[in-house]
Amino acid sequence: GVSFIGATGTVKTLTIKNNSASYGGGVYVQETDSSVTFTGMNINDNTATNSGGGFYIDTGSVTLNSDVNVHQNKAGYGAGVFVEGGTVNLKNKIYKNEATYYGGGMHMTGGTVDVAGAYFCSSSSNTTLPTGKSQAIGAGGNYYQLHVL
């Protein structure tokens, strides 16, 4: 995949496919001074053995524009997008991703995420929530947020 550590800029018209890593099989973004915008891209068929099959966002500022497709990625947590920190603006399509545990489409443990304009569809998680939790949310087939207030 691709790592952005302390990087700024726009990434255009690119396919990131068939990569694997422990974190961020397709794309890994780190450092508070990172500011990356993605446009015209396909992020698909990537695998993370731990988190973030398509994207792992540790810190920094990340925007995924409406013409970015994140699909058919696999990970333990956050198969499409895993957000640990930073500021993330999702305007894109996140679909058909598969998490072993939580957050097929997206798993968030920190940071700030704006999902206005994002499209989540047909992602899955293989874990069910404990009895008494909302089964409408499931284990985050499309979206899972840890520490919800």
- pTM (2 decimals)? 0.87
- Tens digits of residue pLDDT in 76-127: 999 999 999 999 999 999 999 999 888 888 999 999 999 888 888 877 776 5
Please state, rounded to an integer, the average pLDDT across all residues of the chain.
Answer: 86
Query: Helix, strand, coil proportions of the chain in percent (round to 5)?
Result: 0, 55, 45
- More confidently predicted of 121 and 22: 22
Can you give the C-alpha Rg of the chain in angstroms? 14
